[in-house]
C-alpha cells in the first residue's frame, strides 16, 4: 500500500495525501483530511521512514554501542538510554561489540550507513584521534572514555575518586594489605581506577605492591582467578574490585577456601548492579548512577543534534553503599 493508492481511494492528489501525513494540511478541508486518515488507518498504510528521513534529514534513531550486553551494568545503562530516547521520540539501535575493537569499528560504519542521528558509545579501548575523524554523526562517549581532540560528548563519573573512596573505606575498616583486581589498562577508565588505588595507598603512607594487583578483564572469572592468585602469594585482608562482577568472583573464591568474609578479608565492588544486594554476603560497593548515566547521555546527544549550547562533559556523582561484605 503506497501513497498513490491512498490518493486514488480518497479521490485526491498524492500531494494532498502527503501534506496530510506530514501535518502540513492547514489549507485542506477537515472533511478531506478525515477521509484520507480513515483510509490510511483502514488500509494499514505505513510511511517509508527511510525515504522520509532523506527529505527531512533525520531518522529519529540513535545508535548505542556497548562492549558486553551480558554485563548487568551495560544492560541497566542500555535501559536508561532506551527509556530516555523513547520519551523524546527516538528509537535505539543496539550494537554489542563483545569487547572487540574490530566489531566496534564495524558498527560505527553500519550505524552511519543507517543514517542514525547520533551515536552513544561505551568504547572497548583507547584509540587514536584518527579513528573518530570519519564519524559523521554526533557522538557521546558513555562510561568508558577515549582520548581524542574531536568535539564529542562525555558522560562519566570520577573513576579515580571512586576507587580512592573504596580503598579509603577499607583502610578505615582496618585493612592494611589491600589487593586490587580490575581490567587491563586499555582505556582512561581502567587507568583512572588503578590510579585511584595507588593514590589512596600513598595518601595513607602505604606502599604499592604489584604482587597484589591482578588485571585481566571486567568479569566474574577475573575476580575468581585473581583472588586465588592473591591469597596464594600474599596475606591480604581486603580486596578492592574494579567492578561488581569481579567482586562476585572474588567472594566465590574466598568462600571455596573457607576464608571468612568480612572477618578475614573484606571485599568492595564498583557499580552497584542490581544483584549486588542479593549475593552472599551482600556486596559493599561504589554506586554509579547507571540508569541516570543513560538518561544524561541521551539528553546530551539531543542537545548536540539540535545544536543547543551545552557543556560537552558531564561528570555524575558516585556514592558508597555499605553492606555485609565489609
pLDDT at res. 128: 45
DSSP 246-262: HHHHHHHHHHHTT--TT
| Range with lowest mean pLDDT among 89-103, 123-137, 142-156 | 123-137
Q: How confident is the model at residue 130 (pLDDT cuts 50, 70, 90)?
A: very low
**Which pTM was predicted?**
0.81
| Residue 175 pLDDT grade (very low, low, confident, very high; cuts 50, 70, 90) | very high
Residue 144 pLDDT: 84
Q: Where are the alpha helices (DSSP H) in 144-281?
A: 159-172, 188-203, 220-233, 244-256
Those residues whose C-beta lies under 8 Å from the C-beta of residue 308, and which sit 6 or more positions away, are none
Kindly state the cell numbers that stand for 241. 574490585
Say yes or no to pLDDT of 311 above 70: yes
Give tens-digit pLDDT for 84-100.
999 999 999 999 999 88
CA dihedral 108, 112, 113, 114 (to 10 degrees): 110
Contact 117, 59 (CB under 8 A): yes
Instruction: Give the range with max mean pLDDT: 11-25, 115-129, 181-195, 234-248.
Output: 234-248
Does pLDDT of 68 surpass 60?
A: yes
For residue 182, give the nearest of 133, 225, 147, 128 by alpha carbon: 225
What number is the average pLDDT over the span 25-40? 85
Residue 267 pLDDT? 98
Mean predicted lDDT score pLDDT of the chain: 90
Amino acid at each position: 500500500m503506497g501513497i498513490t493508492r491512498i490518493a486514488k481511494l480518497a479521490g485526491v492528489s498524492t500531494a494532498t495525501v502527503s501534506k496530510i501525513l506530514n501535518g502540513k494540511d492547514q489549507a485542506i478541508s477537515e472533511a478531506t483530511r478525515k477521509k484520507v486518515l480513515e483510509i490510511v488507518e483502514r488500509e494499514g498504510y505505513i510511511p517509508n521512514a527511510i525515504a522520509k528521513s532523506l527529505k527531512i534529514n533525520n531518522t529519529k534513531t540513535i545508535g548505542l554501542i556497548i562492549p558486553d550486553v551480558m554485563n548487568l551494568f551495560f544492560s541497566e545503562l542500555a535501559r536508561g538510554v532506551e527509556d530516555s530516547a523513547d520519551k523524546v521520540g527516538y528509537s535505539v539501535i543496539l550494537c554489542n561489540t563483545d569487547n572487540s575493537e574490530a566489531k566496534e569499528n564495524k558498527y560505527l560504519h553500519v550505524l552511519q550507513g543507517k543514517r542514525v542521528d547520533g551515536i552513544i558509545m561505551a568504547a572497548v579501548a583507547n584509540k587514536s584521534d584518527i579513528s573518530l575523524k570519519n564519524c559523521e554523526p554526533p557522538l557521546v562517549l558513555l562510561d568508558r572514555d577515549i582520548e581524542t581532540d574531536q568535539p564529542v560528548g562525555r558522560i562519566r563519573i570520577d573513576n579515580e575518586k571512586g576507587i580512592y573512596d573504596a580503598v579509603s573505606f577499607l583502610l578505615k575498616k582496618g585493612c592494611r594489605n589491600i589487593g586490587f583486581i580490575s581490567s587491563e589498562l586499555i582505556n582512561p577508565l581502567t587507568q583512572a581506577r588503578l590510579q585511584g588505588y595507588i593514590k589512596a595507598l600513598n595518601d595513607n603512607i602505604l606502599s604499592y605492591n604489584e604482587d597484589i594487583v591482578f588485571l585481566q578483564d571486567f568479569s566474574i572469572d577475573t575476580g575468581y582467578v585473581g583472588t586465588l592468585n592473591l591469597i596464594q602469594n600474599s596475606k591480604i585482608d581486603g580486596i578492592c574490585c574494579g567492578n561488581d562482577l569481579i567482586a562476585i568472583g572474588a567472594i566465590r573464591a574466598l568462600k571455596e577456601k573457607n576464608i571468612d568474609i568480612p572477618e578475614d578479608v573484606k571485599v568492595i565492588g564498583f557499580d552497584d548492579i542490581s544483584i549486588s544486594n542479593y549475593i552472599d554476603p551482600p556486596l559493599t560497593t561504589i554506586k554509579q548512577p547507571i540508569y541516570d548515566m543513560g538518561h544524561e547521555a541521551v539528553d546530551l546527544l539531543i542537545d548536540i543534534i539540535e545544536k543547543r549550547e551545552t557543556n560537552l562533559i558531564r561528570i555524575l556523582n558516585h556514592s558508597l553503599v555499605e553492606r555485609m561484605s565489609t
